[in-house]
């Protein structure tokens, strides 16, 4: 999936800004100060890293105490809080202070498994040391070093882990380690994937414990036939190359097969499955012992089949089948919903979020596939299920029913009746619901107010307000701030689009200002919500006298399948039209200068920024193009063929979507930025595009950041430099 790297998600440095002597609101002194103000604008967060435990009657959360990590447990009924773990006084074997990256509860919540000393491999994955901690005797024990993944069994008696491409099990009572597989080689794994499956199907761990702890189901992944892409930053006298098995459009995809390990005997059984060039992106243990649900998709991902397999006999039966003219989603990367399938305990039915009626809705399907009930219905999108209560036959889910610009929590009975909206306040809600559906944490904001944090019961009887926006409110009182304003308009082909704009600080309606359209635009994403603006760079550009805007273009989520999937097979075409129409709509306002407009994007947004410039020349005077997937034939087959179809079926579509096809039509200025170690969107995209511009006699500015990954910048200094270059470029070409 094309998205900015985790480096930028961690930019939370806060600048201290004083009020001027005359009491007037203060402007930013420089770009760095503006960018780092984002932490002051984010508002309240409430408890950190909340994990529901004991069925939802308690939750754990984390704190920092003088630099040491702590885990606390809150009992909802009594309100009591107890310290479960403190890193104070604890250290690694080398004497350094103990710190963890993540943790998981084990046993009867009396043990904690810590992930430490993480060494990244791909965007989400890496090798780590795993420590086991007893909350009763406060013993911290190193169980395994540099494992790829590790997870305690549901019964709390064993630790499963993957290391060096093989699967193992450690038994706590005996201290014995069992090795279940021993055939891993380079690019051939048990219980893990390579880059493509991890990136585009959104999972790191390629194995699952059964609920009764008797089995481990796992993927075996073979990438030995996948072409290798090499990257280097040329930092050494003799450059070292990172090798990535990377299947591009039309290349052979990774081969996978499913195995099931009996953890009591160590026996392994393969599930007979002919991939026929397709994929197995998901497996799920069901409520029936020894029964595994398997999701199969063909290579274009417009066919989905779900099979029920008996892990003892190996027999399987297809119980659900769905086809589409475009593609079928089985998870939502941008909404952080890892699954569209749900298999609750104690039920002989499962739930699936499907767009088969044109909108994403919840369906309840019997294990034999004979009964399908549509639970939700209407012209709105369900985003995901948050909790299932089989006793009360109630679902708790998030949807965009109130507005595509907002997400709200709802409940509904399994039969579709008694639907209730639970979150009522205006704004975009991010909720964490207890497994029993009784309680939830809610973080929400609107364009008019920064983030609030609350804890509530879903019956509305209990609400605890964790909001403390004192620092944010003081900052806004003392400092200039340019708020977001929501707008909507109808395109020339009668499609209504939603957007936001930010007016310049000291806005004067009698003046005319340059416009920056800041976009991403990728399928399934969404750039405009009813939420508070916290982008420090946008604040700086508003201080420099720019109007900043964004839009939910066709291809974005939240507006139904027809709106999103009209881009299938023709990436760039409809999105660019919407960007042009947005710019022209805003230019119709007397205070936007239609002769001074720019478009800027990163990743898919970089592609769209470049594509719009060459396919709609003359609209934008300048563009910033960062890490663009400029030719979809060069991107990985899993995502690209999902969105574009197979190359042999749509060669003309691929040609038309490549920026280089119309490079000769470029008008205006372009700043093109990429890193050399971008394993996601390879620098090959940019260098082939630059060649096309040169061949067409077109000059572009090129900035290369050698060590960076997909985020381009690789540390704080390079990030500030990159944003300074963006700013200077826009000021040079658009400011009067």
pLDDT tens digits for range 652-688: 999 999 999 999 999 999 999 999 999 999 999 999 9
CA distance 610 to 627: 11
Pairing of strands 547-551, 513-519: parallel
Residue 23 — pLDDT band, cuts 50, 70, 90?
Answer: low
pLDDT digits (tens, 9 = 90+) for 284-300: 999 999 999 999 999 99
Picking from 148, 227, 253, 244, the residue whose alpha carbon sits closest to that of residue 679 is 244
* Both structure tokens of 325: 């003219």
**How many residues in the chain?**
736
Q: Which two tokens stand for residue 471?
A: 């620092």
Evaluate if residue 95 carries a pLDDT over 70: yes
Band (pLDDT 50/70/90 cuts) for residue 107 is confident
Three-class secondary structure of residue 659 per DSSP? helix
By DSSP bridging, strand 394-399 and strand 496-502 are: unpaired
Q: Residue 448, Cβ neighbours under 10 Å: how many?
A: 13
| pTM given for the model | 0.95
Q: What is the DSSP letter of 27?
A: P
Output the pLDDT for position 604: 98
* Mean pLDDT on 180-192: 97
Amino acid 11: pLDDT: 41
Tokens of 144: 């395994």
**Residue-wise pLDDT tens digits, 355-377:** 999 999 999 999 999 999 999 99
Q: Residue 314 in contact with residue 290, Cβ under 8 Å?
A: no
Q: At residue 352, does pLDDT exceed 90?
A: yes
- 242, 677 Cβ separation under 8 angstroms: yes
Give the model's pLDDT for residue 591.
98
Q: Are 573 and 540 in contact (CB under 8 A)?
A: no
CA distance 377 to 273: 35
Question: Which pLDDT score, from 0 to 100, does residue 20 have?
Answer: 46
Chain segment 403-459, per-residue pLDDT in tens: 999 999 999 999 999 999 999 999 999 999 999 999 999 999 999 999 999 999 999
458-485 pLDDT tens trace? 999 989 999 999 999 999 999 999 999 9
CA distances from 259 to 207, 208, 425, 508, 732 (A): 9, 11, 47, 67, 59
- DSSP three-state, residue 630: coil
**CB-CB contact of 458 with 439 (8 Å):** yes
- pLDDT greater than 60 at residue 4: no
Percentage of the chain surpassing pLDDT 70? 97
Segment 623-634 shows an average pLDDT of 98
CA-CA distance, 581 to 487, in Å (whole number)? 13
Return the pLDDT at 691: 98
pLDDT tens column, 526-554: 999 999 999 999 999 999 999 999 999 99
Q: Are 287 and 348 in contact (CB under 8 A)?
A: yes
* C-alpha to C-alpha distance for 593 and 37, rounded to whole angstroms: 28
| CA atoms of 587 and 597, how far apart (whole Å) | 9
Q: What CA–CA distance (Å, rounded) separates 130 from 143? A: 6
Reported as type and span, the H/E element at residue 35 is helix 31-35
Q: How far apart are CA 405 and CA 397, in angstroms?
A: 17
Q: Residue 121: which of 191, 192, 184 has the closest Cα?
A: 192
The confidence score (pLDDT) of residue 2 equals 52
Q: Is the pLDDT of residue 9 over 60?
A: no
Q: Which of 13, 19, 4, 26 lies closest to 505 in space, CA to CA?
A: 26
| SS (HEC) of 239-251 | CCCEEEECCECCC
* 207-231 pLDDT per residue, tens: 999 999 999 999 999 999 999 999 9
Give dist(CA 259, CA 272) in Å, integer: 9
Cα separation of 731 and 711, whole Å?
A: 23
Q: Are 13 and 536 within 8 A, CB to CB? A: no
Predicted confidence at residue 416, as pLDDT, reads 98
pLDDT of residue 19: 43
Distance of alpha carbon 113 from the chain centroid: 25
pLDDT the model gives residue 314: 86
Separation in Å, CA 381 to CA 141, 420, 701: 46, 16, 41
Which secondary structure element, helix H or strand E, spans residue 690, and what is its range? helix 683-695
378-397 pLDDT, tens digit per residue, is: 999 999 999 999 999 999 99
pLDDT per position as a tens digit, 58-81? 999 999 999 999 999 999 999 999
- Across residues 311-332, what is the average pLDDT? 96
Look at residue 10 and tell me whether its pLDDT is greater than 80: no
pLDDT class of 499 with cuts at 50, 70, 90: very high
Residue 301 pLDDT > 60? yes
User: What tokens appear for 452 in the block?
Assistant: 């609030």
Average pLDDT over all residues of the chain: 95
List alpha helices for 133-202, DSSP H.
195-201
Could you write out the DSSP letters of every residue in 253-279?
PPEEEEEEEETTT--EEEEP---TT-E
């Amino acid at each position: 999936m094309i998205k900015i790297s985790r480096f930028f998600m961690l930019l939370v440095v806060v600048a201290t800004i004083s009020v001027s002597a005359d009491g007037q609101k203060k402007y930013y002194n420089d770009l760095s100060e503006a960018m780092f103000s984002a932490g002051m604008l984010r508002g309240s967060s409430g408890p950190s890293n909340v994990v529901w435990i004991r069925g939802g009657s308690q939750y754990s959360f984390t704190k920092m105490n003088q630099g040491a990590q702590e885990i606390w447990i809150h009992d909802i009924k009594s309100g009591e809080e107890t310290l479960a773990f403190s890193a104070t006084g604890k250290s690694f074997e080398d004497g350094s202070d103990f710190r963890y990256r993540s943790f998981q509860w084990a046993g009867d919540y009396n043990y904690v498994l810590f992930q430490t000393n993480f060494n990244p491999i791909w965007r989400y994955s890496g090798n780590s040391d795993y420590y086991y901690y007893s909350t009763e005797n406060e013993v911290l024990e190193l169980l395994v070093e540099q494992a790829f993944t590790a997870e305690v069994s549901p019964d709390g008696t064993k630790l499963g882990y993957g290391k060096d491409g093989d699967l193992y099990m450690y038994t706590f009572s005996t201290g014995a380690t069992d090795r279940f597989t021993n055939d891993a080689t380079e690019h051939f794994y048990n219980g893990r994937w390579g880059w493509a499956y991890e990136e585009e199907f959104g999972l790191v761990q390629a194995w699952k414990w059964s609920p009764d702890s008797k089995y481990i189901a796992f993927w075996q992944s073979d990438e030995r036939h996948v072409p290798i892409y090499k990257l280097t930053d040329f930092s050494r006298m003799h450059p070292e190359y990172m090798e990535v098995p990377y299947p591009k459009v039309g290349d052979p995809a990774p081969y996978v097969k499913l195995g099931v390990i009996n953890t009591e005997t160590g026996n392994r059984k393969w599930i007979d499955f002919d991939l026929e060039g397709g994929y197995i992106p998901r497996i799920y243990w069901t409520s029936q012992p020894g029964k595994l649900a398997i999701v199969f998709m063909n290579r274009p991902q417009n066919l989905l089949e779900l099979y029920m397999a008996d892990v003892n006999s190996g027999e399987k039966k297809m119980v659900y089948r769905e086809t589409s003219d475009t593609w079928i989603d089985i998870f939502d990367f941008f909404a952080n919903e890892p699954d569209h399938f749900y298999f609750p305990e104690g039920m002989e039915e499962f739930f699936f979020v499907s767009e088969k009626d044109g909108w994403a809705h919840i369906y309840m399907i019997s294990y034999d596939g004979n009964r399908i009930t549509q639970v939700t219905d209407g012209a709105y999108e369900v985003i995901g299920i948050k909790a299932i209560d089989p006793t009360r036959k109630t679902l708790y889910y998030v949807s965009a029913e109130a507005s595509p610009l907002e997400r709200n929590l709802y409940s509904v009975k399994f039969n579709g009746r008694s639907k209730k909206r639970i979150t009522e306040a205006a704004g975009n809600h991010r909720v964490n619901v207890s497994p029993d559906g009784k309680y939830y944490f809610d973080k929400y904001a609107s364009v008019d107010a920064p983030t609030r944090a609350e804890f509530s019961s879903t019956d509305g009887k209990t609400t605890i307000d964790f909001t403390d926006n004192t620092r944010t409110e003081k900052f806004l009182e003392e400092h200039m701030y340019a708020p977001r304003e929501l707008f909507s308009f109808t395109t020339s082909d009668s499609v209504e689009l939603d957007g936001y704009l930010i007016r310049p600080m000291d806005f004067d309606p009698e003046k005319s200002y340059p416009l920056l359209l800041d976009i991403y635009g990728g399928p399934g994403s969404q750039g405009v919500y009813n939420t508070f603006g916290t982008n420090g760079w946008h604040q700086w550009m508003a201080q420099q006298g720019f109007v900043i805007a964004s839009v939910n273009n066709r291809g974005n989520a939240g507006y139904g399948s027809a709106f999103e999937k009209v881009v299938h097979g023709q990436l760039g075409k409809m999105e660019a039209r919407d960007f042009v129409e947005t710019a022209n709509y805003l230019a119709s306002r007397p205070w936007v200068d239609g002769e001074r407009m720019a478009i800027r994007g990163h990743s898919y947004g970089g592609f769209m920024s470049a594509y719009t410039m060459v396919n709609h020349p003359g609209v934008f005077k300048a563009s910033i193009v960062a890490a663009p997937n400029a030719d979809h034939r060069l991107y990985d087959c899993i995502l690209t063929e999902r969105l574009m179809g197979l190359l042999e079926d749509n060669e003309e579509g691929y040609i038309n979507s490549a920026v280089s096809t119309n490079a000769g039509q470029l008008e205006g200025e372009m700043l093109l930025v990429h890193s050399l170690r971008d394993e996601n969107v390879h620098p090959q995209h940019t260098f082939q595009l630059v060649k096309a511009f040169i061949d067409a006699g077109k000059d572009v500015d090129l900035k290369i950041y050698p060590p960076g990954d997909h985020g381009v910048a690789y540390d704080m200094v390079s990030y500030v430099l990159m944003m300074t270059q963006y700013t200077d470029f826009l000021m040079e070409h658009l400011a009067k």
